[in-house]
Amino acid sequence: MRVRNKPWAKDRILEYPQYVVSDPENWKGRWQQRFKQEQPIHIEVGTGKGQFITEMAKANPDINYIGIEIEMSVLVVALDKLIAEELPNLQLLHADGRDLTDYFEKGEISLLYLNFSDPWPKTKHAKRRLTYKTFLATFEKILPDNGEIHFKTDNQGLFEYSLGSFSQYGMIIKQVWLDLHTSSYEGNIMTEYEEKFSSRGQRIYRVEAYFPK
């Protein structure tokens, strides 16, 4: 994704340490202390401008959420949403998804969302896909036994690749949606990219998969 650089984003983020975690290694094993209530933590890796994670936090006050984003210029938009909503069950984290084992203990995260992850279509860039085996190994280490990944995309190539990658890694595919918006799936919360692509008539793919014990 091409991102418009916002040189002021870092300063803005640093103004809100109660919402954006910039020292995640110091919270390893004690993320619950960042929230008002102790309850399961769900994360989205590549949260972008934060529409999905903000709406999920509003709809599910009995879950704690962390939106993780590598680009400060995008994360700052998610921060604006959180400032406006003042949600006690949402935190944002400026971090690279490949480093999550430095920040979370095994089982500290109950569920992991990937939404419209960058497809990196060239084979030579496959290692950058968030569903590549090295990312899956990282995710497995912070989820509990039988922990799940829920993944949505409009990109058929990335979706097919990801189904193969999950299976080859040893994950179990629980359910697949080949056209989410015409399916009977209830309670779908749309991401910014999902709104953009589905308004152009593109179908949305979804999969739930887990790491068996």
Bridge partners of 45?
A: 68
Q: How far is the CB of 154 from ligand SAM (least distance, A)?
A: 9
Active site residue 80: no
Q: Which residues are annotated as a binding site for substrate?
A: 122, 154, 191-194
Q: Which is nearer to ligand SAM, 24 or 97 (CB)?
A: 97
- Per rule CB under 6 A, is residue 96 in the interface with ligand SAM? yes
Phi, psi for 30 (deg, rounded to 5): -140, 35
Question: Could you say whether residue 97 binds ligand SAM (CB under 6 A)?
Answer: yes
Helix (H, G, I), strand (E, B) or coil at 153: strand
> Site for ligand SAM (CB under 6 A): which residue of 45, 56, 111, 158?
45
| Nearest Cα residue to 78 out of 37, 19, 27, 22 | 19
Q: Is 76 in the site for ligand SAM (CB under 6 A)?
A: no
- In whole angstroms, what is the distance from residue 77 CA to residue 81 CA? 7
According to CB under 6 A, which residues from 98 to 117 bind ligand SAM?
98, 115-117
Q: Using CB under 6 A, pick the residue from 43, 64, 66, 69 that binds ligand SAM.
A: 69
The Cα–Cα gap between 136 and 170 comes to 10
Question: Is 125 within 8 Å of 91 (Cβ atoms)?
Answer: no
The nearer residue to ligand SAM, 200 or 213, going by C-beta atoms, is: 200
Task: Choose, from 11, 102, 118, 179, the residue flagged as catalytic.
Answer: 118
Strand runs (DSSP E) across 95-194, as ranges?
Answer: 111-115, 148-153, 172-177
Question: Which of 74/171 has CB closer to ligand SAM?
Answer: 74
Note whether 181 and 204 are within 8 A (CB): yes
Tokens of 111: 């569920």
Q: Does 142 bind ligand SAM (CB under 6 A)?
A: no
Write down the least CB distance from residue 163 to ligand SAM, Å.
19
> Of 38 and 96, which has the nearer Cβ to ligand SAM?
96
State the CB neighbour count (10 A cutoff) for residue 153. Answer: 24
Catalytic residues: 118
Residues near ligand SAM, by CB under 6 A: 1, 45-48, 68-71, 74, 96-98, 115-118, 191-194
